Structure 1
Amino acid sequence: MAVDPALPSEGYRLTVGPDGATITGGDEAGVFWGRQTLRQLLGPDAYRRAPIRPAPRTLPYPTIEDEPRFAWRGLLLDVARHFMPKDGVLRYLDLMAAHKLNVLHLHLTDDQGWRVEIRSRPRLTEVGAWRRRTRLGRGDPPVWDERPHGGFCTQDDLREIVAYAAARHITVVPEIEMPGHSQAAIAAYPELGNTDVVDTARLEVATGWGVSPHVLAPADQVPRFYEDVLTEVLEIFPSRFVHIGGDERPKDQWRASATAQARIRAEGLRDKAELQSWFIRHFDRWLAERGRRLIGWDEVLEGGLAEGAAVASWQGYAGGVMAARAGRDVVMCPMQEVYLDHWQAGGDDEPVPFGWVRTLRDVYRFEPGPPELAGTEHAARIIGAQADMWTEAADSQQRVDYRLFPRLAAFAEVAWSDLPAPDERDFENFRRRMDAAHYARLDAMGVAYRPLSGPLPGRRRPGIPGLPFAGPPRERSHP
């Protein structure tokens, strides 16, 4: 194994012959991805944790030259809504490596839980990491699991995750949500909320789903609080990008808050959209001063995009196109295409139906590059693609596996390979390759994927209502 800088970054050349296999990479990551391809050639048993039979004596003698289409090939793992302990995260890093995915976007905070230890603010985990009960699915009247739920990762746990990922050439991008999706933080430290509107001292960590009205107050102490939080986060995560959320921020409390209105006047802002931008711009500058870059959901475009911010375009393609045309880097993760918490097929047997039906074929037809940017200088601003796994309806490793796989395999091929246009892609070829080898690899890795024939009896969840979306997927209008 060797590095040849003449090859592209993350690219590799794999040659197998009578004397063995040789892997040359454009960098160490390229060598690693070449090893993953060799592992595929060795057969499904190469994916087991211990050998169960002698390794094959012969292999085909190919020469394979390959390189990724995108530099950011990501998976978002939401450990905030349902906590996933360290060992579960390490397992998904192994699964990502096997699929040549290289960015783990770790969603660490939300209304329903705060999952990262912050030593200077201990109540974030003493209080914010625990909720007294959990809503099961959606529906009216609601169904509840009355057991308390929670947990968090210590800083050393997270350092272990970062090191384990780095050994697999995966970058871990942390997400600390602000100014919305902050109810758990406000429950721990009530002074972070809009105290002139709501009695935040009575607020608890959210137990249900949906968008919480409780947002951070635009008061002087709030940015200082989150600067202290992020100072500790930067010590754990060396990633260039830090995600600060910025999405789904209701305006009602700011509209009613005298403090918010005073901030708008003091900063010369026009409206509440620019108040959102005030938060984002502050942390864009703060992160840039420390050699990092802010990335946020496409609502960070509201009120004007901060100087160095990148955009994760989740509401569709429009926000990403707008940001790319403005010269900003974009990661495409439209919920209509690659939100893998959405159900995979219709039918009463599917567990907790949510969102739009997105089949394996649908995900294989996902195209990260917007056609309106094709052939323009802005196309290069699409730096990658990401599949997102939210966990409102996935309360265990088995449930996460079921929603992610096999669709994550289709996404991984799209993010790595320069495939034809969606209408020209050979899905049947992909399906045959899955049947011939890849399902056996997933079996060897212990992945509880959804068979194309439907859920096995133990995967169903009768009596728990979902929230299926009506009609075909539509792009949300963008501000």
Structure 2
Amino acid sequence: MNAVIPHASAAPAPGAGDGTLHATGPWRVAAADPALEEVADTVRALLAPHLPGRLLPAGSTGPATHALVLALDDEPPAAPRTTVGVAPDGGAHPADEAYRLRVTADGIECLARTAEGVFRAATSAVQLIATAGARGELPCQDVTDAPRYAWRGLMVDPARSFLTPDELRRIIDLAALYKLNVLHLHLTDNEGWRIELPGFPRLTEPVAGGRARAFYTAAAFRSLQEYAARRFVTVVPEIDLPGHCGTLREAVPGLAEAPAPAGLRERFPFIPPLDLTDGATRAAVSGLLAEVCELTAGPFVHIGADEAFGATAENFAASVHELRTIVRESGKSPVAWQESSRAGVEPRDIVQHWVDVPMMDLPDTEEELAARPELVTAGHTLSFIKALKGFFAPTDHDVARVVDGGGRVLLSPQSHLYLDRPYEAGFAPPEQTDAAGSLGFGNYRPRSIEHAASWDPGVYAIPDECVAGVEAIVFAEQFKGFDDVIFLLLPRLASVAEAAWCGRAPEWTEYRERLARHGQVWNQRGLTHFATTEVPWAE
């Protein structure tokens, strides 16, 4: 068995018998084709934390016990899957990421038709080396692999909890290691605006008292995208409108308020969403989105469009239409949360499915509420929960709207792919009990790692042509900082990556044995994970 995640089918290497690669000793990374020199540099950087003192520098002529060789090969790998979904790099068809990996007694060879495929093979090789254990023994084997979904993403939330560019680079490396290829950045919300726009300096000016705001300069954002691109990861920025606009309202006074449903203001407090049917408001938003699009190297810009609490249905639909139009006029393709489907859906639209009422797992009676301490602690009453269900009732039909309109669904169901969920404390080692229960969004029922790994994207009755892909989500309402993000991601991100690449949920008993070896990988990278007692972690 190899410990590669996502799962990669392996067979004995022809002619190798029971041969073994002893992975101890020095290694070198070599590009067999000049076109792969940059890929080799990237693989070398990704491998470095796992071979301290044993990875030879580029161009080294010294002796090496083993070689990790990257090569282009026109012979098509025996790809076990058909890729479906939207190409995150904007290509008309999904990238060719199929690869072959050969482990021999002398080293590892990564073969594919494309540089991207070679890089995916190399991430499997990095995992094999990192999980080889103290004896460093790997069975000789041939691996052939290819993805099921073209869009395999992770969203993080620097709007609420800022992540430095270097921290985002570490997250990009982690995503790439598990063959994810999209980093979705939730850059704006009521709590913060995190990207510099030269035409709107007040968005990132110091706050009252002179305290500096944390944000990404235009130069830093471009550099981050370049770093991601070398790892075949596309960065998708999100500017969340017409709701979630508190910071924007503070910086740009006078933006028109959306007309609210009758009687709402008297019942619930809310920050008014924007009214993009107002000419001045549309002009301002058009200007800022044009700057975001100009800064974005990839083809997609996310416009948000979720939870526009305080806007009438008619005004919300009109505002979403304007947001889509502005992004398209700026040369990019809009992505939006599922509520945007109520503004109509066209075949080119990508709509991100995150919730329906059953998925919210909310109680119906006082007895059921009493059995949910996380909701009681949050101060929820049955009347509030009833109102919440009413607000989210239209979500039950959003996916059908997307499919009927010929759009593409990006799967991010809250039930399993929202990784800002507390862990089930009963599976926490003693030293992590407090963190397991306190980190994450308090409204969510704590769940086990087995529950997270049980998600199967194939259960949705969505035609292949209407699927964009899969994306994990980590919002940051109730935690702060990089270490908290990583604790919530690991180990759950690994099973999301497996479902996105393989197109199915892993078999738990077999998967937990592979997962047990990855604690070593994260430790070597300086990443703290939730050491659930469900998994027999390798020393």
TM-score (norm 1): 0.75
Say if 2:304 and 2:337, in contact at 8 Å, map to a contact too. yes
Q: Residue 140 of structure 1 corresponds to which residue in structure 2?
A: none
Please say if 1:249 is aligned against 2:308: yes
Residue identity in the other structure for 2:529: Y
Q: CA separation in 2, counterparts of 1:177 and 1:306?
A: 20
Residue identity in the other structure for 2:321: R
Q: Residue 74 of structure 2 corresponds to which residue in structure 1?
A: 4
Question: Aligned match of 1:430 in 504, 511, 532?
Answer: 511
CA RMSD of aligned residues (A): 2.8
Q: 1:22 to 1:322 in 2, by over 3 A?
A: same
Say if 1:83 and 1:150, in contact at 8 Å, map to a contact too. no
Q: CA separation in 1, counterparts of 2:424 and 2:115?
A: 40
Q: Residue 447 of structure 2 corresponds to which residue in structure 1?
A: 358
Say if 1:44 and 1:444, in contact at 8 Å, map to a contact too. no
Q: CA separation in 2, counterparts of 1:33 and 1:105?
A: 20
SS of the residue corresponding to residue 369 of structure 1 reads helix
Say if 1:81 and 1:391, in contact at 8 Å, map to a contact too. yes
Question: Cα distance, 1:194 vs. partner?
Answer: 2.5
Number of positions where the alignment pairs a residue of Structure 1 with one of Structure 2: 390
Q: Residue 13 of structure 1 corresponds to which residue in structure 2?
A: 100
Question: Cα distance, 1:318 vs. partner?
Answer: 4.9
Deviations 1:86-112 (CA, angstroms, capped at 9, x unpaired): 111111001111111110000000000
Please say if 1:311 is aligned against 2:351: yes
Question: Cα distance, 1:180 vs. partner?
Answer: 0.2
Q: CA separation in 1, counterparts of 2:269 and 2:337?
A: 15
Please say if 1:379 is aligned against 2:464: yes
Say if 1:186 and 1:193, in contact at 8 Å, map to a contact too. no
SS of the residue corresponding to residue 528 of structure 2 reads coil
Question: Aligned match of 2:282 in 198, 219, 223?
Answer: 223
Q: CA separation in 2, counterparts of 1:318 and 1:432?
A: 39
Q: Residue 202 of structure 2 corresponds to which residue in structure 1?
A: 123
What pairs up with 1:65-214 in 2 under 5 angstroms?
65-126=144-205, 150-194=213-257, 212-214=270-272
Q: CA separation in 2, counterparts of 1:371 and 1:117?
A: 39
Q: CA separation in 1, counterparts of 2:330 and 2:213?
A: 32
Question: Cα distance, 1:415 vs. partner?
Answer: 0.9
Mean CA deviation greater in 21-30 or 405-414? 21-30
- The percentage of aligned residue pairs carrying the same residue is 31
Q: Residue 446 of structure 1 corresponds to which residue in structure 2?
A: 526
Residue identity in the other structure for 2:328: A
Deviations 1:9-59 (CA, angstroms, capped at 9, x unpaired): 11111112245432222322111010011111212489xxxxxx9x95x64
Q: Residue 295 of structure 2 corresponds to which residue in structure 1?
A: 236
Q: CA separation in 2, counterparts of 1:189 and 1:21?
A: 56
Deviations 1:110-138 (CA, angstroms, capped at 9, x unpaired): 000000001000001116xx599xxxxxx
Please say if 1:29 is aligned against 2:116: yes
Question: Cα distance, 1:188 vs. partner?
Answer: 0.8
Q: Residue 40 of structure 2 corresponds to which residue in structure 1?
A: none
Q: CA separation in 1, counterparts of 2:212 and 2:510?
A: 43
Say if 1:3 and 1:31, in contact at 8 Å, map to a contact too. no
Question: Cα distance, 1:228 vs. partner?
Answer: 1.5
Unaligned runs of 5+ in 1: 47-52, 133-146, 198-209, 255-271, 455-479
Please say if 1:283 is aligned against 2:323: yes
Q: Residue 332 of structure 1 corresponds to which residue in structure 2?
A: 411
SS of the residue corresponding to residue 330 of structure 1 reads strand
SS of the residue corresponding to residue 469 of structure 2 reads strand
Say if 2:345 and 2:401, in contact at 8 Å, map to a contact too. no
Q: CA separation in 2, counterparts of 1:66 and 1:403?
A: 28
Deviations 1:126-181 (CA, angstroms, capped at 9, x unpaired): 16xx599xxxxxxxxxxxxxx97941110111111100100000000010011000
Residue identity in the other structure for 2:297: P
Q: 1:383 to 1:405 in 2, by over 3 A?
A: same
Say if 2:194 and 2:204, in contact at 8 Å, map to a contact too. yes
Please say if 1:42 is aligned against 2:129: yes
Question: Cα distance, 1:366 vs. partner?
Answer: 1.0
Question: Cα distance, 1:284 vs. partner?
Answer: 2.1
Q: CA separation in 1, counterparts of 2:304 and 2:449?
A: 28
Say if 2:334 and 2:349, in contact at 8 Å, map to a contact too. yes
Q: CA separation in 1, counterparts of 2:425 and 2:256?
A: 41
Question: Aligned match of 2:497 in 385, 391, 412?
Answer: 412
SS of the residue corresponding to residue 190 of structure 1 reads coil
Unaligned runs of 5+ in 2: 1-70, 80-95, 261-267, 357-395, 427-432, 535-539
TM-score (norm 2): 0.67
Q: 1:119 to 1:194 in 2, by over 3 A?
A: same
Q: CA separation in 1, counterparts of 2:343 and 2:499?
A: 33
Question: Cα distance, 1:445 vs. partner?
Answer: 1.0
Residue identity in the other structure for 1:17: T
Q: 1:446 to 1:131 in 2, by over 3 A?
A: farther
Say if 1:369 and 1:382, in contact at 8 Å, map to a contact too. no
Residue identity in the other structure for 1:215: P
Q: CA separation in 1, counterparts of 2:270 and 2:204?
A: 19
Residue identity in the other structure for 1:164: Y
Q: CA separation in 2, counterparts of 1:168 and 1:211?
A: 44
Q: CA separation in 2, counterparts of 1:41 and 1:196?
A: 57
Question: Cα distance, 1:304 vs. partner?
Answer: 2.2
Please say if 1:322 is aligned against 2:411: no
Residue identity in the other structure for 1:165: A
Q: CA separation in 1, counterparts of 2:231 and 2:173?
A: 8
Q: CA separation in 2, counterparts of 1:246 and 1:339?
A: 18
SS of the residue corresponding to residue 458 of structure 2 reads coil
Deviations 1:249-295 (CA, angstroms, capped at 9, x unpaired): 122xx5xxxxxxxxxxxxxxxxx323212222223233334442111
SS of the residue corresponding to residue 139 of structure 2 reads coil
Q: CA separation in 2, counterparts of 1:196 and 1:406?
A: 44
Question: Cα distance, 1:319 vs. partner?
Answer: 2.6
Residue identity in the other structure for 2:455: F
Q: CA separation in 2, counterparts of 1:393 and 1:67?
A: 37
Q: CA separation in 2, counterparts of 1:341 and 1:30?
A: 31
Say if 1:336 and 1:356, in contact at 8 Å, map to a contact too. no
SS of the residue corresponding to residue 413 of structure 1 reads helix
Deviations 1:416-462 (CA, angstroms, capped at 9, x unpaired): 1133xx5xx52011111122x211111111111111049xxxxxxxx
SS of the residue corresponding to residue 74 of structure 1 reads strand
Q: CA separation in 2, counterparts of 1:439 and 1:16?
A: 23
Q: Residue 475 of structure 1 corresponds to which residue in structure 2?
A: none
Give the structure with higher Rg (CA): 2
Q: 1:6 to 1:195 in 2, by over 3 A?
A: closer
